[in-house]
Structure 1
Amino acid sequence: MNTATKLSGFALGLVAVFGAAYGIGNLADPVAPAAETRHDDSDSDHGTGDTGHGDESQAGGAAAHLPGGLLVSERGYTLQPATAAAGQFAFRITGPDGAPVTRFEVAHDKRMHLIVARRDLSGFRHVHPEMTGDGTWRVASPLDGPGVWRAFADFTPEGGEPLTLGLDVTVPGELAARPLPAPATSTTVDGYTVTLTGTPEPGRTSRLTLSVSRDGRPVTDLQPYLGAYGHLVALRQGDLAYLHVHPEGTPGDGRTPAGPAITFAAEVPSAGAYRLYLDFRHGDAVHTAEFTVLAGDRTAPVPTAPAPTTAPTPDAGHGTPGHGHS
């Protein structure tokens, strides 16, 4: 998962793919009016558990009570593609005045979090682009295979409230759609075993604890990552509603142990299947553990993926998406 992977066979920059996807996204992705939005993101020190930027409400607007990541534009801020060299992913955030935003608050150690997930939830990357002076964010492309991906820009404009905008991006080629893995309480990644306890319940705050072990022994020396001992993203199957949560406690606060358990307070907006992605740092490397969980009726079957198909190829050529964890 942390190994750089590149696709070959494309001649031009990734912007052709991103641009085509954005053109479609203008039709398919909801756009909210520039109205005032209240975000509940009071967990400045991770002490209370951040239910994410997915618990947004907009009085009287189209985004009222929508989870994060479902809108390409909200409160006047818009996620827009930018010209990218081959192997890069580039975008801007434009503000209510239509100009690129260049001033952002630091949230969880970074000014911008870019999360991408393939629509069938079989791929996931969390990276941190760098911004140039004109407000363009660039990073080695995290899109590591053909398909339709959802890109989430998670940020806080200076003096504003946290916001997550989302946009579909198409990487052309033969698709091998995969069914969502069955719900499980344990998974392995890079030699680590991560065990999940707790069950999300729609409409209420639930405690989810993820415990990390290696070679049968609890890991008690987790390293801080993004200001915490763990970083959790939850995506709802179907529309990929985005929930960005953080654990209880803060590294170095004198009361939060460095593992093996990391406890999160999370609230899912509805019943259904969710994919959880836990980033944790140990051995000077970031590892990502993935789980499928069911909220609400846990006897309901998990929908399967559609039959394999081919992603559309836009008229222009395409870049060589790269792959990297930063």
Structure 2
Amino acid sequence: MNTVTRVGAFGVGITLAFGAAFGVGNAVGPIGSDAKPTHGGHNGGDPAAAQPAPPGGAPGAAPAAPAAAEEPGGLRVSERGYTLVPSGDPLAVGVPADFRFQIIGPDGKPWTRYERSHDKDLHLIVARRDLSGFQHVHPVLGSDGTWSVPLTFPSAGDYRVFADFAPAGDPDGGLTLGADVSVSGDYRATPLPAPVRTVEVDGYAVTLEGDLTTSASMLTLNVSKGGRPVTNLQPYLGAYGHLVALRQGDLAYLHVHPQGEPGDGKTPAGPGIGFHAQAPSAGSYRLYLDFQHEGVVRTAEFTVRVGTPDAGSPTAVPTTVLPSTPVAPPATGESSDGHSH
């Protein structure tokens, strides 16, 4: 359930902070770089921070070493003393069951204190390794430090789960941890859909303007229905739009939100939701945009290609938009207000 400096079209601003893929006990840096560990999800990514430091010191001194690139969030199962530990319960295809996990804190005990972000203490993102089966849900925390949420896995395979949260009292703010879980059954890979600019979602058309690149870029998502712009989007988790992105291959993660807030007198309720974004590397990305209208949360999915994975100086190719299955938010309950796609 989750970020960088946020700026957007129509008075809405956002920045993208990439989280990353999981590896138990392993740290994996971003593609093509030696990464400096950092947290994902909601960290503030200043593009200038990745630039080489200016020379300093006495005359004749060697120039300062370039600043290390930030590691996307979510690539680690453990970071800053916090560890994501799934319960290990067997998972089956199409069988609703409580998915349970704990966040173990620096003291070695289940962590129970969290800062609320976008109406929730923790956002759980789930996606299969081939970037299908996306779900964004909100677990409930038990008194023993165990999180639980009803989940149904639509197909067999290896899934990545991302816990996006901010530990209370931690001066470094939020982070994103990732772990893999397996669902037994007959696995059939789903190819990454081809790029398109507009997708139909339950009668709504979502059009993506702009190209994601490795430098600062503007993305605007415009929502319409029946050929007319939607200007009365409804707040969902304190915003008019939520965006999650996963990088193909290592599943580097990002979660972003509009800077403006519904009801602040300056943030319009559509049709456009704008984001200032920057990809950490060349490659293919899958974007998942959540928006709510007429009481239903819908997700538009986009395939975005940035340069080529082996390019020295990547340049963007057209961003892409792909469809997703709309899911109505459950009627009641803190544990059931998430949605799956």
TM-score (norm 1): 0.74
**Residue 158 (structure 1) aligned to one of 163, 168, 178:** 168
1:166-181 residue pairs with structure 2 within 5 A? 166-181=178-193
1:230 aligned onto 2:245 = no
Match for residue 147 of structure 1 among 148, 153, 157: 157
By how many angstroms is 1:257 displaced? 0.8
Deviation at 1:285, TM superposition (A): 1.0
State whether structure 2 residue 123 is matched by structure 1 residue 97.
no
Structure 2 CA distance for aligned equivalents of residues 65 and 200 of structure 1:
18
1:1-326 mapped onto 2 (5 Å cutoff) = 25-26=23-24, 29-30=26-27, 37=38, 41=42, 65-82=70-87, 87-160=97-170, 161-202=173-214, 204-296=215-307, 297-298=315-316, 325=339
Q: Secondary structure at the match of 1:258?
A: coil
- Identify the residue that residue 313 of structure 1 maps to in structure 2: none
What is the root-mean-square deviation in Å for CA atoms of aligned residues?
Answer: 3.1
- Cα shift at 1:37: 4.8
Distance in 2 separating the partners of 1:274 and 1:39: 16
Q: CA deviation at 1:191?
A: 1.4
The one-letter code of the counterpart of 1:75 is: R
Q: Is the contact made by 2:159 and 2:181 (CA closer than 8 Å) also made in structure 1?
A: yes
**How many residues are paired up?**
264
1:228 Cα offset (Å): 0.8
Q: Are the structure 2 counterparts of residues 324 and 146 from structure 1 closer, same or farther at C-alpha, using a change threshold of 3 Å?
A: farther
d(CA) in 1 for partners of 2:87 and 2:183?
16
Please give the alpha-carbon distance, in whole angstroms, between the structure 1 residues aligned to 2:127 and 2:41. 24
Q: For the residues of structure 2 that align with 1:183 and 1:36, how far apart are their CA atoms? A: 32
* Distance (Å, rounded) in 1 between the aligned partners of 2:228 and 2:187: 39
Q: Is the 8 A contact 2:306 2:317 kept in 1?
A: no
Aligned-residue offset at 1:143:
2.5
Identity of aligned residues (%): 59
Matched to 1:195, the amino acid is: T
Contact 2:121–2:166 (CA under 8 A) maintained in structure 1:
yes
The answer (yes or no) to whether the contact 1:119–1:150 under 8 Å persists in 2 is yes
Change in 2 beyond 3 A, CA 1:39/1:170: closer
Task: Report the Cα offset of residue 215 of structure 1.
Answer: 1.3
Greater than 6 Å deviation, 4+ residue runs: none
3-state DSSP of counterpart to 2:132: coil
Distance 1:179 1:225, change over 3 A: same
CA distance in 2, matches of 1:176, 1:99: 38
Give how far 1:175 is off: 1.4
**Equivalent position SS for 1:88:** strand
**3-state SS of the aligned residue for 2:286?**
strand
Question: Would you say the 8 A contact 2:38–2:71 is kept in 1?
Answer: no
Q: Report the Cα distance in structure 1 between the residues aligned to 2:207 and 2:179, rounded to whole angstroms.
A: 32
Check 1:99–1:40 CA distance in 2 against 1; reply closer, same or farther (3 A cut): closer
1:15 aligned partner: none
User: C-alpha offsets along residues 216-241 of structure 1, whole Å, 9 cap, x if unaligned?
Assistant: 11111100111110000011011000
- Relative to 1, partners in 2 of residues 1:40 and 1:130: Cα closer, same or farther, differing over 3 Å? closer
Q: 1:37 to 1:25 in 2, by over 3 A?
A: closer
Stretch moving more, 100-109 or 76-85: 76-85
Q: 1:223 to 1:36 in 2, by over 3 A?
A: same
> Does the 8 Å contact 2:211/2:219 carry over to 1?
yes
2 CA distance for matches of 1:265 and 1:225? Answer: 20
The answer on whether the counterparts of 1:112 and 1:129 sit within 8 Å (CA) in structure 2 is: yes
C-alpha contact 2:40 2:73 (8 A) present in aligned 1: no
Q: Which has the higher contact order (CA 8 A, sep 6+)?
A: 1
Structure 1 residue 145: Cα displacement = 1.5
Using structure 2 for the length normalisation, give the TM-score.
0.70
Query: Are the counterparts in 2 of residues 142 and 324 from structure 1 also a CA contact under 8 Å?
Result: no
Q: Is the 8 A contact 2:212 2:316 kept in 1?
A: no
Long gaps (5+) in structure 1: 1-23, 43-49, 57-62, 303-321
Unaligned segments of structure 2, at least 5 residues: 1-21, 30-35, 51-67, 91-95, 308-314, 321-335
CA pair 175-273 structure 1, distance change in 2 beyond 3 A:
same
CA contact (8 A) 1:234 1:275 kept: yes
